[in-house]
Structure 1
Amino acid sequence: MKSIKTITTHTLIIKKSEFITTLIPCNDLDEADDLIKDFAKTDATHNCVAYIIGPHEKANDDGEPSGTAGLPMLNVLKRQGLSNIIAIVTRYFGGIKLGAGGLTRAYTNAVAEALKEAEIVEKELVKKYRLDIDYHYAKKVDYLIKARGYTLLDTTYDTQVHYTLFLPDEGFLDELKDLTNNTFTFENCGMDYMSVK
């Protein structure tokens, strides 16, 4: 699956109107509305939205003439073969009307130009684990996680060290058994998308 690595913004000025595109990676449909609220500008004339998250698609013109904003934005994402991405184009009206064709071109170009700035990455669905390790073994485990190039999401400390990480190779759990004399515990925390290196 192709998506973007990080949040990317790009600004385009067309006939004095400012089109600010924000591209956001998003793997969870339940988070989409909150992300849109967080990044939409309340003082703007329009905040048009398009997203593809898994099998779900959405296009919203936010007050622009029907079909001139959200759908053209969605079409750019589809043509690029992207998924798990939200595009918000915030428009500050500059006083010159663009007409339906001009708006469609403006929103299409706004997303297309922002995608040129974005880092496109391949992502795959990988299992997430929480590992609970005694402090005695923490340095060796830290080293192993770094040496394997695994993506560490979180580390917390209390009576033990708790690692949350993507684990593309479950053979790592067998290595940890040997390393810790089988004193560690682990829990599968579901799956999520991660960038393929």
Structure 2
Amino acid sequence: MTRYPSGHKERTREQIVSAAARAFREEGVEGVSVGEVMGRAGLTHGGFYAHFRNKDQLVAEACGCALEQSTARLIDIARKAPPEERLAAFIGAYASPAHRDDPGAGCLMPALATEVSRHSPEVRTAFTGSVQQALAMLVRLLPEVEGADRTDRALALMSGLAGAVMLARAVDDPALSDRILQASRDAFTAAFAKG
């Protein structure tokens, strides 16, 4: 029996989840087999069941991983801006051509929301948890507005941003796609990020 160093199984599992998070955002959950995920992770298909009960468990974990990866990038962009410009920087980065053109590194909401709605309760619960974490982060970025509920405002902004990126990816007219993003950036910045 081959002995592996301490932590090998945990690192291998993280490697699989990270590869799955990217693959699912790029190709969709149904568009990627377990064998393809394992290949992207540099592993053989046979090792999958040493780490996961089934594909749904992998999808559930990949949702959390995808959120952590994309949120870290977007928050880093926001943190580099002056405090009063952080929300505008976040909106600009989210509704950008770079985000639209790299779904594998982007937010899981525009990439997987419609597909996840048809998955198992385990997957939907994990996705919901990821959305709630993103919502909590966005609430912290929103300025106080008298008489307005910050959570409701964050829900509207998150839904609008995810929808804008989803629509911009779906159309086959590059000029229209760019216009969707620009119009969304302008409208959301004016509505949410102007003091």
| TM-score, with length taken from structure 1 | 0.24
Structure with greater helix share of residues: 2
Larger CA Rg, structure 1 vs 2: 1
Name whichever structure is richer in strand by fraction: 1
